[in-house]
Amino acid sequence: MDVKTFICDDNPVHRRCICKFASACCARNAMDCEWKELSPEELQNQLLSERFQADILILDINMGDYDGIQMAKQVNQAAPDCKIIFLTSYIDYAPRVYETRHLYFVLKAQMEEMLPKALAKAWNLLNQEEPCLMITVSNEDLKIPFEKILYLEKFLHYTVLTTDLKEFKVPKSLRTLEPLMGKDFVRCHGSYMVNLRRVSGHTRTKFTLDNGAEIPIGRTFQAAACDAYLDYLASLM
């Protein structure tokens, strides 16, 4: 499991030191992580452009013009499943972090002792969880297992997500949702994305799902979609 781990601190020297220490710690414990260092400006830009995708975020709090606790609240909205580890020099911030959903509060003076514990806890939680899509619909945070999702369909500026039991009208574009979906989802049409695990058959122009629904395959998507389905079938052998 390749875990995307972001480190955000306004001090580039601190970012490098944290990354060096944390990556060495994960390597010793056979935790495969993809590391990325971000300034607060870069993190804010990712959040505003809806490009933020991280499994673990190591986040400073006092970052000049940027408040790490407020940014954590934005992360909670953009990526509800992201495990946030606050790493700060100031114990006074401890009460405020409970305004957010976070995993750990670590003082920089105790980083060598406490950060490995925080990373191990995040790693264990990520490995225990069923792969899910985390979305907010009508101000409610939802966690929908990928295996329950049949397909996604684009409508203007929103997307309808169809599961076994119901449909969800998600206020995000299909393009925005596409990178959040699991590896078994494929874009097969300008307006559709399908879960290959739920496909029971296909022709050049359509997928048939295990509930009988038929999803069109657009002309420009035919080669890539059919190849993806054949690769999926081969992975099962």
| Tens-digit pLDDT profile for residues 205-230 | 999 998 899 999 999 999 999 999 99
pLDDT mean across residues, the chain: 91
Q: Which residues, 6+ apart, have CB-to-CB distance to 192 below 8 Å?
A: 151, 152, 153, 154, 215, 216, 218
> What is the CB-side half-sphere exposure of residue 77 using CA atoms within 13 A?
14
User: Rounded to an integer, what distance in angstroms lies between the CA atom of residue 41 and that of residue 30?
Assistant: 31
Q: Distance (Å, rounded) from C-alpha 21 to C-alpha 37?
A: 13
Please name the helix (run of DSSP H) or strand (run of DSSP E) that holds residue 236, with its range, or none.
none
CA-CA distance, 17 to 124, in Å (whole number)?
A: 24
Would you say residue 129 has pLDDT above 70?
Answer: no
Rounded to an integer, what distance in angstroms lies between the CA atom of residue 11 and that of residue 56?
19
Distance CA(80)–CA(186), nearest Å, equals 23
For residue 205, the tally of other CB atoms under 10 A from its CB is 12
12-24: pLDDT as tens digits: 999 999 999 999 9
pTM of the model: 0.58
Band the pLDDT of 1: cuts 50, 70, 90: low
pLDDT tens sequence across 59-88: 999 999 999 999 999 998 888 889 999 999
